[in-house]
Structure 1
Amino acid sequence: MDLNQVKQLALNFIEEVWNHQQYDKLDDYLHHDYVDHSLPTALPADRVGLLKWLQATSQSFEHQTLIEDQVTEGNKTILKVKMMMTHIGLWRGIEATGAQVSTTGYRFYRIADGKIIEHWAAIDGNVLETQLKQKVNKGCQIPE
């Protein structure tokens, strides 16, 4: 694959699978030897674990991943992402608040045979938790 194809593969994966929850397209994007280095330890580090994570995330949040920057070299690409989310279900013990929250981070993909073979992510979930707890723990509000 050339650099533009590597870049576009990652962008399309984010848009179709993450943003539009088209889980039936996982096989279009994931190599049969796919390894996800960013999943919670309770999940297998493969396509099954990724699917479970995608489904759990979508039960807790309506989410949209925006790409802020991307650098691609050879068969690797890294994306700086911003995730815009609405809290619609239980997450980290916090019942749905309807709050709109956001976080930023990075996703790194390695490509082999035209598909994603490895993924690493650094997404700040603690920022989300802090934002949600602030929404929940406001207490009584006195009008100004």
Structure 2
Amino acid sequence: MRTPEESLERLYTDVWNGENPEAADELVHETYVIHDRDLAAELQGPELYKALASATREIFPDMTFEIADVVAAGETVAVRWTMTGTHRGELFGVEPTGRQVELPAIEFNRFEDGMLIETWTQSDQFGLLHQLGVDPTAE
């Protein structure tokens, strides 16, 4: 059986980097939720996980995730990652700009019986909007 760290790294390689999205079916618990997305109210489990990655790939078709740090304590895994990609789809009402972006984030993931069951993510969305040429403080 994989460690939670190995499972999480495989999820990023296979699902988020697009090599094998169906890997979520074996690594994500059927009741999986993410605590910072509106979509979580509509979906759960592997379908939610795959939908999040797919929706993000529609906005950034060439996106790649690079994991910088992984720290585990029992069934909880903290990860620091950076997503890079080209803005090709609408995001927060911003039409595609064609700009290259970097989005750093810190995430906590809880596993149960070897499967990912919940995630909390904090990403630099303010910085992302700035890279897209949007002033998030303007009204």
TM superposition score normalised by structure 1? 0.81
Q: Which residue of 2 aligns with 1:121?
A: 121
Asked which structure has the greater CA Rg, the reply is 1
Using the TM superposition, give the Cα deviation of residue 124 of structure 1 relative to its aligned residue in structure 2, in angstroms: 1.5
Partner of residue 90, structure 2: 90
Look up the match of 1:141. none
Per-residue CA shift, 1:58-101, capped at 9, x if unaligned? 11112111111111111111001111121111112222222111
Q: How far off is 1:21 after superposition?
A: 5.8
Structure 1 position 57 matched with structure 2 position 56: yes
When the two chains are superposed, the root-mean-square deviation of aligned CA atoms in Å is: 2.0
Partner SS for 1:58: helix
Q: Is the 8 A contact 2:69 2:79 kept in 1?
A: yes
Give the secondary-structure state (helix, strand or coil) at the position aligned to 1:20.
coil
Aligned length, in residue pairs: 132
Whole-angstrom distance in 1 between the partners of 2:30 and 2:40: 21
Shift in CA distance, 43/49, structure 1 to aligned 2, threshold 3 Å: farther
Residue 30 of structure 2 aligns to a residue whose secondary structure is strand
3-state SS in 2 of match to 1:133: coil
SS at match of 2:38: coil
**Unmatched tracts of structure 1, length 5 or more:** 135-144
Q: Are 2:31 and 1:68 aligned? A: no
- Larger mean CA deviation between 114-123 and 44-53 belongs to 44-53
What residue ranges of structure 2 are gaps of 5+ in the alignment? 135-139
| Secondary structure in 1 matching 2:3 | helix
Range with bigger deviation, 114-123 or 36-45:
36-45
Q: CA–CA distance in 2 between the matches of 1:37 and 1:77?
A: 15
Cα deviation for residue 129 of structure 1 reads 1.1
Deviation for aligned residue 1:43: 4.5
Counterparts in 2 of 1:115 and 1:59: CA distance versus 1, 3 Å: same
